Amino acid sequence: MQDPLVIGGVTLTSRLFIGTGKYSRNTLIPEVIARSGSQVITVALRRVDPESKDNIVTHIPSHMTLLPNTSGARTAEEAVRIARLAKSAGLGNWVKIEVINDQKYLLPDNTETIRATEILAAEGFVVLPYMSPDLSAALRLKAAGAAAVMPLGAPIGSNRGLQTKELIRILIAETGLPIIVDAGIGRPSEAAEAMEMGASAVLLNTAIATARDPLLMAEAFREAVSAGRNAFLAGLGPVEETAAASSPLTGFLA
């Protein structure tokens, strides 16, 4: 069954986006990409060093869509500068806006994120903002030109799962934008649950990078995302409070 996800004019068959941070060695990245089946990979511009012998970008196969992120930005202004740097460094015109003012929990600043999205979308960037799942903010991001929104499931790197499930459910129902659940997903079952809910994709890094066997975990997430998506497309059966008898006792009344 053809079920592509189209973002910024790019057609994707994998709905698992992955990251490049936290690995014990960069040479794991191409193997993780292969096992995960992912086609989109986020990379923090702050880690990119074209002059380094071990430049992180050289480990990313050319078929991947690069999603440079503005990790480290504390204001819209910094995010905009980082996005422009990424573009001028040849990393393409996709950008994941990350504006984080809170170094204790690493929660995003939605107001600054909206400001940065307005500017960068107007400049032709394909903008994917990382955000706290708030409907008003998501609608403003949509109006600002975001190509998708990326609500957090739980704080970055926490592996705590879909703590914001109800809010993400509202974003899926109300925004009309692709919703890519980002941050917090620690288990393949949680990725599957996000996809069952109707998320368009999930992005994760810590869960794979810090697993005992990152390659096997990458494969597990590929299967989970695929299973969750299929379940969503198939339409989950209704959940009843009481047992629904397959041989009704009152059928004779009809």
Which residues participate in catalysis according to the annotation? Answer: 96
69 has binding-site annotation: no
- Based on the shown chain and the rule CB under 8 A, indicate whether residue 46 belongs to the binding site for another protein: yes
The answer on whether 70 is annotated among ligand-binding residues is no
Collapsing DSSP to helix, strand or coil, 142 comes out as helix
Is residue 81 a contact point for another protein (CB under 8 A)?
yes
Q: DSSP label at 151?
A: E
Does 26 engage in binding with another protein (CB under 8 A)? Answer: yes
- Enumerate residues 6+ apart whose C-beta is below 8 A from 44: 20, 21, 68, 69, 71, 72
With respect to another protein, which residue has the nearer C-beta, 110 or 159?
159
**49 contacts another protein (rule: CB under 8 A):** yes
Is 157 part of any known ligand binding site? yes
Strand ranges, E, within the chain: 5-7, 10-12, 16-19, 40-44, 65-69, 94-97, 126-131, 150-151, 180-182, 201-204
Burial group, residue 157, by CB count within 10 angstroms (0-12, 13-18, 19+): middle
Q: Is 205 annotated as a binding residue?
A: yes
- When binding is defined by CB under 8 A, the residue of 30, 72, 92, 198 that contacts another protein is 72
CA–CA distance, 224 with 201 (Å, rounded to integer): 11
3 vs 49, beta carbon nearer another protein: 49
Interface pattern 116-155 for another protein (x via CB under 8 A): ---x------------------------------------
The site string for another protein over 215-254 (x = CB under 8 A, - otherwise) reads ----------------------------------------
42 forms beta bridges with 19, 67
Min separation Cβ 177 and another protein, Å:
24
- Residue 203 to residue 84: CA distance in whole angstroms: 23
Secondary structure of residue 231 in the 3-state scheme: helix
Q: Work out whether the CA dihedral 202, 203, 209, 215 comes out positive or negative.
A: positive
77 in contact with another protein (CB under 8 A): yes
Q: Per-residue x/- mask for another protein, residues 84 to 103, rule CB under 8 A?
A: xx---------------xxx
Return d(Cα 50, Cα 115) in angstroms, integer.
29
Out of 6, 13, 22, 58, the only residue in the binding site for another protein (CB under 8 A) is 22
The footprint of another protein (CB under 8 A) covers: 21-26, 45-49, 52-53, 72, 74, 76-78, 80-82, 84-85, 101-106, 119, 157-159, 206, 209-210
Known binding-site positions: 157, 183-184, 205-206
